Amino acid sequence: MSEFSGPPLDATVPDDLTIPQFFLDHHHPSRPVRKDGVPWLIEDGTGRKIGFEEIRARTFGFANGLSLRYGIKEDDVVLIFSPNDVDYPIAIWGAHRLGAIISGANPTYTCDELVHQIETTKATVIVAHPVSLDTALAAARVSGIPAGRVLTFGESSQKSVDSLVKEGLSHNPNFVERKLKPGEGQTKIAFLNFSSGTTGKPKAVAISHTAPITNVIATALHGKVGQNYCRWEDQRFRPGDVAAAVLPFFHIYGLVLSIHFMTFCGMSLVVIPKFNFTDFLKSIVTHKITHLMLVPPQIVLLCKHPAVKDYDLSGVRFLISGAAPLSAELMKQLVKVIPNAQVGQGYGLTESSTSITMYPTDQKIGTPGSAGRLLPGVVAKIIKQDGSLAGFNEPGELIVKMASLALGYYNNEKATRETFVNGWLHTGDEVVINENMEVFIVDRLKEIMKVRGFQVAPAELEGCLLDHPDVADTCVVPVPDDYSGEVPLAFVVLHASTAKRVADDPAEAEKVKASIMKHVEDNKVAYKRLAGGVEFTDVIPKNPSGKLLRRILRDRAREMKAKPKAKL
């Protein structure tokens, strides 16, 4: 088989609307009617509820304020350097009303990292949060941006977004919102989101206005939004449900699926600024949250953290995991924790303006290990190592063609040519597709290790390890080996009770390590065994979107190999 295709994208996708025009001013046939009194946004800490009219007013106020005070206009870049905030969507849509571009930055960036993003995007205004203000001001100085062009979502020494909104609302319009020409939405840049791509340093991904709109419509068709395909109680996405916005908005997963798709479905979005697991459990109960969009490390906590038993999670009726593969073993544990929920995986990239696959509505529990099926309008190929096209159950690199692909990497033609080839996005992920058209993400190609010529996916071993009762978290990395080329080594965070047992009796450490290694030996083929050993660590490093920072532990493991007595 040369190509794998999702269903046709059998819906009108407007290509002459900006994102706020589509979401705030336009009604699409696949969009359900929001129930009266159902807010769009809920502030987690205070419970403040923000409805449609207030959102439209604040969006206009922010746009008018940007125009009046800073002269922001078409194609200027506004950079948001903040954790999630209820005014984050307002800032996005307000800038878009002016034809400006939004670039969201990781609020934990150092000054140098932020300077790189400012200078790459040529941003002229920064919207920060008080917690990240010092870094924002330092980066602004280096980049030549006056301090007066740095705003904050909360109260600080700088002008606040709220005061700019009020200023904009108190004046007549200082701008005329432009109507796009037919097709212009496909080329007009809405976002510059940063991604590592498949190779090299982080790059600015240029995403058009039409791309997220297309992806939301495709996801709605896939999820049968607004269709009476089964009884109301079992429908996956219903107006009036409540979704948790705990994924960072600067990341494509939180940006498209949380902000835009969930509100499109008529849901309320509980905006959570920072992920703290026990506080998150409290939020689920307090706000009666029904829908969770999470990443595997957060699911590990749901399955392993002792506090879970103290909270009633029976109201959760939908969970999707993305950003990294979720093992079959962890999926089995998860369905026991939230037995009333539909549970499965999705898969996407910044370069695809998020979702490529998602588990279908005819499965309450997605096939374990599967990232679901291709969304409507997605065409895929799998390229084997020898360059030929794979068929069913044959692994290779996934390449896709779809209407929501990004325009390329901003001002980086070389990287664009390498990743976007003749209309196809080369994902850099190794996958398998079975006869049921289910996609299984094996791992990042650059993270696959070769053991005696056999491919070993770290994610597969991590799923097996998390099924061990003593393992709270883990990350598998390759270490050099004279005979095998490289072999797997597992960094493991122990459960608190096991860690105490090991601390009380040092001899217990070797017993636990042996038990963990035997668990893998009993469940995996010989070349996948932990020949590199097991090392205990206090924490597995992750980025804010939840992806394992495997490189950090890989470098640590190599140092240990070079200096066997080095302390972890």
Do 344 and 226 lie in one domain? The reply is yes
- pLDDT of 528 reads 87
Write phi, then psi, for 89 (nearest 5 degrees): -60, -35
d(CA 495, CA 322): 24
Which sign, positive or negative, has the C-alpha torsion 247, 309, 491, 474? negative
Contact (CB, 8 A) for 270 and 263: no
Residue 120 burial (CB count, 10 A): 19
- pLDDT of 567 reads 46
Tell me the β-bridge partners of 205.
Answer: 193, 409
Q: What pTM did the predictor assign? A: 0.83
In sequence order, what E strands does 82-173 have?
101-105, 125-128, 150-152
Assigned token pair, 437: 């058209």
What strands lie across the sheet with 101-105, from one edge to the other?
Answer: 150-152, 125-128, 77-81, 101-105, 189-195, 203-208, 408-409
Contact (CB, 8 A) for 397 and 430: yes
Residue 348 within any structural domain of the chain: yes
The residue-averaged pLDDT of 539-552 equals 81
Tell me the β-bridge partners of 81.
Answer: 105, 128
Count of alpha carbons within 13 angstroms of residue 207, beta-carbon side: 30
- pLDDT of 123 reads 98
Q: Which of 89-98, 277-286, 329-338, 539-548 has the lowest mean pLDDT?
A: 539-548
For residue 276, give the CATH number of its domain. Answer: 3.40.50.12780
Question: pLDDT grade, residue 568 (50/70/90)?
Answer: very low
- pLDDT of 522 reads 87
Nearest CA among 236, 239, 194, 192 for reference residue 211: 192
The residue-averaged pLDDT of 126-136 equals 96
In tens, the pLDDT along 477-529 reads 988 876 677 889 999 999 999 999 999 998 999 999 999 999 998 888 787 89
Contacts of 128 (CB under 8 A, 6+ apart): 80, 81, 82, 107, 135, 136, 150, 151, 152, 153, 158
Residue 20 within any structural domain of the chain: no
Contacts of 562 (CB under 8 A, 6+ apart): none
- pLDDT of 453 reads 59
Do 122 and 223 lie in one domain? The reply is no
Question: pLDDT grade, residue 566 (50/70/90)?
Answer: very low
Last residue within a domain, chosen from 150, 177, 204:
177
Do 242 and 391 lie in one domain? The reply is yes
Nearest CA among 218, 226, 195, 122 for reference residue 406: 195
Count of alpha carbons within 13 angstroms of residue 504, beta-carbon side: 6
Count of alpha carbons within 13 angstroms of residue 318, beta-carbon side: 22
Do 484 and 403 lie in one domain? The reply is no
- pLDDT of 483 reads 66
d(CA 559, CA 568): 10
Question: pLDDT grade, residue 405 (50/70/90)?
Answer: very high
Nearest CA among 348, 314, 304, 296 for reference residue 458: 296
Contact (CB, 8 A) for 106 and 544: yes
- pLDDT of 196 reads 58
Question: pLDDT grade, residue 199 (50/70/90)?
Answer: very low
Do 205 and 292 lie in one domain? The reply is yes
The residue-averaged pLDDT of 164-168 equals 97
The residue-averaged pLDDT of 250-268 equals 95
Give me the residue label for tokens 């995991």.
Answer: 321
d(CA 265, CA 225): 7
Question: pLDDT grade, residue 201 (50/70/90)?
Answer: low
Structural domains of the chain, count: 3
**Secondary structure element (H or E) that encloses residue 388, with its range:** none
Residue 352 within any structural domain of the chain: yes
- pLDDT of 359 reads 96
Contact (CB, 8 A) for 185 and 14: yes
Cα 356 from chain centre: 13
d(CA 397, CA 442): 10
The residue-averaged pLDDT of 262-269 equals 97
Contacts of 345 (CB under 8 A, 6+ apart): 320, 321, 322, 325, 326, 357, 358, 359, 366, 370, 371, 372
Do 138 and 246 lie in one domain? The reply is no
Residue 27 within any structural domain of the chain: no
Assigned token pair, 11: 């819906």
Contact (CB, 8 A) for 59 and 70: no
d(CA 481, CA 452): 10
Residue 4 within any structural domain of the chain: no
- pLDDT of 171 reads 97
50 has a pLDDT exceeding 70: yes
Question: pLDDT grade, residue 325 (50/70/90)?
Answer: confident
Do 400 and 539 lie in one domain? The reply is no
In tens, the pLDDT along 444-483 reads 777 778 787 566 778 888 988 999 999 999 999 988 876 6
Residue 333 within any structural domain of the chain: yes
Do 60 and 207 lie in one domain? The reply is no
Q: Which of the two residues, 325 and 371, has the higher pLDDT score? A: 371
Contact (CB, 8 A) for 205 and 194: yes
Q: Which of the two residues, 362 and 112, has the higher pLDDT score? A: 362
d(CA 258, CA 271): 9
In tens, the pLDDT along 169-198 reads 999 999 999 999 999 999 999 999 987 554
d(CA 162, CA 197): 35
Domain residues for the domain of 316 are 189-444
For residue 78, give the CATH number of its domain. Answer: 3.40.50.980
Nearest CA among 440, 439, 457 for reference residue 448: 457
- pLDDT of 554 reads 86
561 has a pLDDT exceeding 90: no
Which residue blocks in 47-87 are alpha helix, DSSP H? 52-65
Contacts of 142 (CB under 8 A, 6+ apart): 111, 115
- Assign 230 to helix, strand or coil: coil
- pLDDT of 280 reads 97
Do 287 and 319 lie in one domain? The reply is yes
- pLDDT of 458 reads 86
Do 310 and 418 lie in one domain? The reply is yes
Q: How far is CA 335 from CA 194, 196, 275, 299, 342, in A?
A: 33, 32, 22, 11, 9
Do 432 and 461 lie in one domain? The reply is no
For residue 462, give the CATH number of its domain. Answer: 3.30.300.30
- Assign 126 to helix, strand or coil: strand
Do 146 and 59 lie in one domain? The reply is yes
552 has a pLDDT exceeding 80: yes
Last residue within a domain, chosen from 177, 205, 222:
177
Last residue within a domain, chosen from 444, 466, 484:
444
Residue 568 within any structural domain of the chain: no
DSSP state at residue 180? P
Residue 133 within any structural domain of the chain: yes
Residue 507 burial (CB count, 10 A): 7
**Helix 277-286 vs helix 296-304: crossing angle, to nearest 10:** 80
Nearest CA among 234, 265, 257, 213 for reference residue 361: 234
Mean pLDDT of the chain: 92
Share of the chain above pLDDT 90, in %: 76
Question: pLDDT grade, residue 287 (50/70/90)?
Answer: very high
